[in-house]
Amino acid sequence: MPLTSKQRMLTALQRGTPDRLPVTTHHVMEYFLNHYMGGSNYQAFFDRFNLDAYHWILPFRSEPGVVEVNPLGFTCSESWRVESEVLPGGPYQTTRHTIHTPKGTLSMALQSNEHTAWVVERPIKEKGDIALLEFMPAPLCDVQAVNAAAQAFGERGLVRGHIPGFDIYGQPGTWQDASCLFGIENLIFATHDDPAWVDELLGILRRRKEIFIRSLQGACYDLLELGGGDASSTVISPRLFDRFVAPHDSILIDLAHENGQRIVYHTCGGMMPILENVAAMRPDAMETFTPIGMGGDMDLAQAKRRIGDKVCFIGGFDQFHYFLGCSPEETRLAVRRCFETAGVGGGYILSPSDHFFDADLALIEAFADEAHQCLYEDQ
């Protein structure tokens, strides 16, 4: 009997061989749904192409006297209040968020368009600003909401979430979160000029994430994301990874395992020089295995030889060249290449290397259908 999508992907996460190659995608972007699928929701996308589905969910709960969740989903408390204001003018929507604490204020401004959002004003402007982060409350997982969603989702696929970053604009990994708050160039310079200060900042952010992870006990997540592209070898050296990234994120991975959760470490960018470094942190899976043609450096066959016995692989597919501007046959060949390299012996979930905004629907159909033909014959 064929496995369900959930069984198939869980088998791969455990580095086993399912009935066929699991096939999915990362976040389904609202832009793509609006422009190519008539505004459908992301579950309709998975159904339309017969993909093994994800259900992304990250509900927070309030705890009276400790933390509350405001209408924008930001965690607040008596000593951490967030006010938001949309600024007029300019080609992009601009929103400034002002954070009030007993010892001063922080401000962060974002801009956005129909594709995405980005930071135009970072909250940490001076090194002393990190003292105000000590007032920042930690979000807590709404375990009941996660479990209700997991029960409703059933066997359609995996329930995914991520370790929360800074509420207004942050990322799951500790280093990546710090990069969002201070800027990656500034952060790299600081590792040379004042490494003790960088350690202090990373410690503040990591401890907040630890509180959230401890609240995950009993939550029926299948996979939680950690990491971020600013920890890739495209951005920092393996030496900086070992000195500033691994010491913090490995603590979070161990804590997640203690609380019954699986972790996928997300590195969108260069990975080849740090494959063993990431695997040594003992995540259950790694993504995105970005191909050279998309700005990464991935050699899937070599990666499989080096760390394929340690983690599940998720990703590896070049959506830029094989979801647009090619024939379905070329897309199918790209799927086969992924299967024949990363899929050997199981432990592989085929996925585009991160999200996409534009795609030819016929090529997504070829992508999914060819993956269905990639069978593990001994199963």
Q: Are strands 53-56 and 117-121 parallel, antiparallel or unpaired?
A: unpaired
Residues in the chain: 379
Is the confidence at residue 268, as pLDDT, over 70? yes
Is the confidence at residue 63, as pLDDT, over 90? no
* Prediction pTM value: 0.95
Is the confidence at residue 73, as pLDDT, over 90? no
Quickly list H helices, the chain.
Answer: 5-13, 30-36, 42-49, 143-153, 174-182, 184-193, 195-214, 238-240, 246-258, 275-279, 300-307, 319-322, 328-342, 361-372
Give the per-residue pLDDT at 379.
Answer: 53
Residue 67 — pLDDT band, cuts 50, 70, 90? confident
Q: Are strands 117-121 and 140-141 parallel, antiparallel or unpaired?
A: unpaired
**CA pseudo-torsion sign 182, 185, 186, 190:** positive
Query: Considering the chain, what percentage of its residues have pLDDT values greater than 70?
Result: 99
Is the confidence at residue 105, as pLDDT, over 70? yes
Is the confidence at residue 312, as pLDDT, over 70? yes
- The candidate with the shortest Cα–Cα distance to 54, out of 46, 62, 65, is 46
Is the confidence at residue 65, as pLDDT, over 80? no
Give the per-residue pLDDT at 213.
Answer: 98
Query: Considering the chain, what percentage of its residues have pLDDT values greater than 90?
Result: 95
Is the confidence at residue 191, as pLDDT, over 70? yes
Domains of the chain, CATH where assigned:
5-62+123-372 (3.20.20.210)
Q: Encoding tokens for residue 260?
A: 């019954």
Is the confidence at residue 378, as pLDDT, over 90? no
Give the model confidence (pLDDT) of 34-59 as tens digits: 999 999 999 999 999 999 999 999 99
Give the per-residue pLDDT at 72.
Answer: 84
Contact 46, 56 (CB under 8 A): no
Residue-averaged pLDDT of the chain: 96
Is the confidence at residue 86, as pLDDT, over 90? yes
Give the per-residue pLDDT at 141.
Answer: 97
Q: Encoding tokens for residue 182?
A: 């201070």
Give the model confidence (pLDDT) of 197-216 as tens digits: 999 999 999 999 999 999 99
Give the per-residue pLDDT at 377.
Answer: 79
Give the per-residue pLDDT at 66.
Answer: 79
Mean pLDDT for 319-324 is: 97
Residues 6+ apart with CB under 8 A from 154: 6
Q: Encoding tokens for residue 40?
A: 């459908």
